[in-house]
Amino acid sequence: MKKETIDLFFSTKTLQIFLKTDEEDYVASIRHKVGCMYSYTAAKMRAFEKLGLVTSERKGRVVWYRLTDRGRVLKQKLKDLVEG
């Protein structure tokens, strides 16, 4: 596993951002659920996109993120680990 992938999920806030992302969601909504800065959340969502965990689509002024199949699987495994 790449170091940047490991580093990405060792942050509590980053983990919360990923776990609190709904099937289709946008940065402002996610940031309110987690309680962190908009810019931090947006940067993490772009990092998730680079890893193939989410895709993005601009609708007007809002960028919507959608979990990929890979993202759904990882989210479920992380939930099991955290909540289990």
Crossing angle between the packed helical segments 12-20 and 38-50, to the nearest 10 degrees:
70
- pLDDT value of position 2: 62
Q: Report the chain's mean pLDDT, rounded to a whole number.
A: 90
Kindly write down the DSSP assignment for every residue of 70-84, as one continuous string: HHHHHHHHHHHHHH-
Q: If one looks up domain 3-77 in CATH, what number appears?
A: 1.10.10.10
Two tokens, residue 71: 């993202």
- pLDDT value of position 47: 96
Question: 71 or 3: which carries more pLDDT confidence?
Answer: 71
Residue 65 has pLDDT above 90, yes or no: yes
Print burial letters for 4-41: b (CB count within 10 Å at least 16), e (below 16). Answer: eeeebeeeeebbbbbebbeeebbbebbbeebebeeebb
Domain ranges of the chain: 3-77
Question: 9-45: per-residue pLDDT in tens?
Answer: 677 889 899 999 999 999 999 999 999 999 999 999 9
- pLDDT value of position 61: 94
